[in-house]
Amino acid sequence: MSLRSRCSRICSNAIHRPSIYFNASQTPSKVNPVWQTCRSVASTPSAEKALFPGALNSEFTNTLEFLRPSNKKSIPTYRVVDQYGGVINKEMGVETEDEEALVLYRNMVCLSIMDLLMFEAQRQGRLSFYMVSAGEEGIAVGSASVLNPADVVFCQYRETGVYMQRGFTLDEFMNQLFSNSQDAGRGRNMPVHYGSKKLNIHTVSSTLATQIPHAAGAAYAIKLQNMQNPEIEPRIVVCYFGEGAASEGDFHAALNIAATRQVPAVFICRNNGYAISTPTSDQYRGDGIASRGAGYGIPTLRVDGNDIFAVRRATREARKLALENGGQPVLMEMMAYRVGHHSTSDDSFAYRQKIEVEDWKRRDNPITRLRKWLEGRQLWDEDKERELRSRTRKEILAAFDRAEKLKKPAIRHAFGDVWEDLTEEQRMHVEELRDILRRYPKEYDVDQHEGGVESLDELLAAKSTK
Ligand X SMILES: Cc1ncc(C[n+]2csc(CCOP(=O)(O)OP(=O)(O)O)c2C)c(N)n1
Report d(CA 76, CA 70) in Å as an integer. Answer: 15
Alpha helices in 136-228 (DSSP H): 137-144, 160-166, 170-177, 211-228
Interface contacts to ligand X, rule CB under 6 A = 158, 206-208, 241-245, 270, 272, 274-276, 338, 342
Nearest to 267 by CA among 149, 155, 162: 155
Tell the smallest beta-carbon distance from residue 451 to ligand X (Å).
33
Q: Which residue is nearest to Mg ion (CB)?
A: 242
**Nearer to ligand X (CB atom), residue 54 or residue 249:** 249
Tell the smallest beta-carbon distance from residue 27 to Mg ion (Å).
48
Interface contacts to Mg ion, rule CB under 5 A = 242-244, 272, 275
Tell the smallest beta-carbon distance from residue 243 to Mg ion (Å).
5
**Nearer to ligand X (CB atom), residue 246 or residue 308:** 246
Nearest to 212 by CA among 289, 281, 139, 287: 289
- In DSSP terms, 240 is beta-bridged to 268
**Nearer to ligand X (CB atom), residue 248 or residue 317:** 248
Tell the smallest beta-carbon distance from residue 116 to ligand X (Å).
18
**Which own/partner pairs from 119-125 qualify as long-range (CB within 8 Å, at least 24 positions apart)?**
119/340, 119/344, 121/400, 122/344, 123/344
Tell the smallest beta-carbon distance from residue 242 to Mg ion (Å).
4
* SS3 label, residue 237: strand
For residue 215, the one-letter residue type is A
Q: Which of 112, 145, 247, 343 is catalytic?
A: 343
**Residue 206: active-site member:** yes
Nearest to 375 by CA among 387, 384, 363, 366: 384
* SS3 label, residue 366: helix
Tell the smallest beta-carbon distance from residue 156 to ligand X (Å).
6
Q: Which of 95, 100, 120, 324 is catalytic?
A: 120
**Which own/partner pairs from 177-184 qualify as long-range (CB within 8 Å, at least 24 positions apart)?**
177/118, 177/127, 177/130, 177/403, 178/127, 178/403, 178/404, 178/406, 179/408, 179/409, 180/403, 180/406, 180/407, 180/408, 180/409, 181/406, 181/407, 181/408, 181/409, 181/410, 181/450, 182/403, 182/406, 183/409
**Nearer to Mg ion (CB atom), residue 341 or residue 413:** 341
**Residue 172: active-site member:** no
**Nearer to ligand X (CB atom), residue 135 or residue 451:** 135
Largest pairwise CA distance in the chain: 87
**Nearer to Mg ion (CB atom), residue 228 or residue 278:** 278
Residues written for the chain: 466
Tell the smallest beta-carbon distance from residue 183 to ligand X (Å).
21
342 makes contact, choosing from Mg ion, ligand X, none, with CB < 5 to 8 Å by partner type, with ligand X
**Nearer to Mg ion (CB atom), residue 247 or residue 300:** 247
Q: Which of 128, 206, 277, 464 is catalytic?
A: 206
Which helix (H) or strand (E) element contains residue 4?
helix 3-15
**Nearer to ligand X (CB atom), residue 46 or residue 207:** 207
Q: Which residue is nearest to ligand X (CB)?
A: 242
31 makes contact, choosing from ligand X, Mg ion, none, with CB < 5 to 8 Å by partner type, with none
Report d(CA 432, CA 424) in Å as an integer. Answer: 12
**Residue 342: active-site member:** yes
207 makes contact, choosing from Mg ion, ligand X, none, with CB < 5 to 8 Å by partner type, with ligand X
Tell the smallest beta-carbon distance from residue 60 to ligand X (Å).
41
Do 367 and 329 contact (CB within 8 A), yes or no?
Answer: no
Q: Which of 193, 202, 341, 342 is catalytic?
A: 342
| Residue 335 φ then ψ, to 5° | -85, 135
Tell the smallest beta-carbon distance from residue 172 to ligand X (Å).
22
**Nearer to ligand X (CB atom), residue 134 or residue 208:** 208
Nearest to 147 by CA among 305, 326, 268: 268
Do 336 and 135 contact (CB within 8 A), yes or no?
Answer: yes
292 makes contact, choosing from ligand X, Mg ion, none, with CB < 5 to 8 Å by partner type, with none
373 makes contact, choosing from ligand X, Mg ion, none, with CB < 5 to 8 Å by partner type, with none
Report d(CA 69, CA 375) in Å as an integer. Answer: 42
The catalytic site residues sit at 120, 206, 342-343
